[in-house]
Amino acid sequence: MTDIIQLLPDHVANQIAAGEVVQRPASVVKELLENAIDAEATEIKLIIKDAGKTLVQVIDNGKGMSVTDARLSFERHATSKIKSAEDLFQLHTKGFRGEALASIAAIAHVELKTKRPNDDLGTTIEIEGSVLKSQEAIVTPTGTSVAVKNLFFNIPARRNFLKSNNVEIRHITDEFHRVALTHPNIAFAFYHNGNELFNLHIENYRQRIVHIFGNKTNEKLVPVEEETEVLKVSGFVGKPEFSKKTRSEQFFFVNNRYIKSPYLNHAISAAYEGLLKDGYHASYFLNFTVDPKTIDINIHPTKTEIKFDDEHTLYAILRSSVKHSLGQFNIAPVLDFEQQSSFNTPYSYKDKTVAPPKIEVDRSFNPFEDGDQAKEKSTYNAVNFKKEPAASWESLYVGLESKGNGKTTDFSELTFESETKTDPIFKSSAIETSKTTFQLQQKYIVSTIKSGMLIIDQNRAHQRILYEGFLKHITVKEATSQQLLFPLELSFTPNEIHIIKDVKTNLEHTGFVFSEISEERLTVTGVPVGVSDSEVSIILEQLISDVENDVPDASFSAADVLAKSMAKSLAIKNGQTLSAEEQEHMVDSLFACKEPNVSPTNRPTFITMKVDDIEKKFM
Ligand code: ADP
Ligand code: MG
Q: Cβ atoms within 10 A of the Cβ of 92, count?
A: 11
Q: What is the pLDDT of residue 417?
A: 36
Residue type (1 letter), 189: A
Sign of the CA dihedral with 87 first, then 88, 90, and 96 last? positive
Helices 580-591 + 393-403 axis angle, to 10:
40
pLDDT, tens only, 131-181: 999 999 999 999 999 999 999 999 888 888 888 888 899 899 999 999 999
* CA 296 – CA 94 distance, rounded (Å): 13
The preferred substitution site among 73, 75, 111, 140 for testing ligand 1, maximizing ligand atoms within 8 Å of CB, is 73
144 close to ligand 1 (CB < 6 Angstrom): yes
pLDDT at 567 over 80: yes
Q: Which ligand is nearest to the CA of 70?
A: 1
**Nearest Cα residue to 456 out of 606, 580, 600, 604:** 606
- CB 79 less than 6 A from any atom of ligand 1: yes
Ligand 1 pocket test: pick from 27, 32, 34, 35 the residue with the most ligand atoms within 8 Å of its Cβ. Answer: 35
CA angle at 492 for the pair 488 and 495, rounded to the nearest 5°: 140
Say how far apart CA 125 and CA 110 lie, in whole Å. 8
Please state whether the predicted TM-score (pTM) of the whole model is above 0.75.
no
Residue 92, CB-side half-sphere exposure with 13 Å CA sphere = 2
Ligand 1 atom with the shortest distance to the CA of 102: 6
Q: Which ligand is nearest to the CA of 96?
A: 1
CB count in 10 Å sphere of residue 257: 21
Q: Is the pLDDT of residue 606 over 50?
A: yes
Give, in degrees to the nearest 5, the angle at Cα 197 between 193 and 199: 125
Mean pLDDT of the 258-285 span:
88
Least confident stretch, 87-101, 195-209, 226-240, 517-531 = 87-101
Q: Give the tens place of pLDDT for each residue, 176-194.
A: 999 999 999 999 999 999 9
Burial class (CB in 10 A: 0-12, 13-18, 19+), 120: exposed
| 335-350 pLDDT per residue, tens | 433 333 334 444 444 4
458, pLDDT greater than 80: yes
Does the C-beta of 65 come closer than 6 Å to ligand 1?
yes
Confidence (pLDDT) at 471: 82
Q: Kindly tell me the number of DSSP H helices and DSSP E strands found in the chain.
A: 22, 22
Q: What average pLDDT score do residues 587-597 get?
A: 88
Nearest CA to ligand 1 atom 13: 79
